[in-house]
Amino acid sequence: MTDPSSRSRTATDRDEPFSGIPPTPIVLLGVRATFHTMLLLSLWFLLRGHNVPGGGFIGGLVAAIALVLRWVALGRPRQRFPGPSPVPTLGLGLTISAVTAAAPLVVSDQILESRLWSWQVPLLGSVKLSSTLFFDTGVYLVVVGLALVALATLGRDDVSGEPT
């Protein structure tokens, strides 16, 4: 007989909720279908935000809602919340935003001054890149990092900080 702790994790282990009752197939299908769609929608909001309403905050909120939906529907994982580490994600987002905000000071511009770069790409035409996309990416990572910190905190059983 094999030791249960030595076996590899299967899909059913990852989907086992904290209550011990497995989620229904309809919930699993719904979460799996909407999770990736919501993440793609969040990236779309991020990428369109420097030209029209949207951006890093709205995109980050949609990604955070997708993570929370998955956590609520599937329950708390036994080890830790799957995905990127919360604190490094939050720190990376803050660093990107701060560097992007302060970078114009190097060339004697005002803080948060925006730049626009444009290239002619064959078959695509004019491709534009704005410095606000980098700032929005930092904000996106901060919002997602905060959601991951909240989910990691909700997944703890005690104040010692050990995940269950």
The pLDDT tens digits of the residues spanning 50-106 come to: 666 678 999 999 999 998 888 878 765 544 555 678 889 899 999 999 999 999 998
* pLDDT above 70 coverage of the chain, percent: 73
Element housing 142 (H / E): helix 131-154
Residue 38 has pLDDT above 60, yes or no: yes
Distance of CA 69 to the CA centre of its chain: 13
CA dist list (Å): 115 to 53, 110, 131: 18, 12, 5
b/e sequence 149-164, b meaning 16+ C-beta within 10 Å = bbbbeebeeeeeeeee
- Nearest partner of 102 among 92, 93, 112, judged by Cα: 112
Nearest 5°: the CA angle 116, 121, 122 is 165
The encoded tokens of residue 91 equal 């720190």
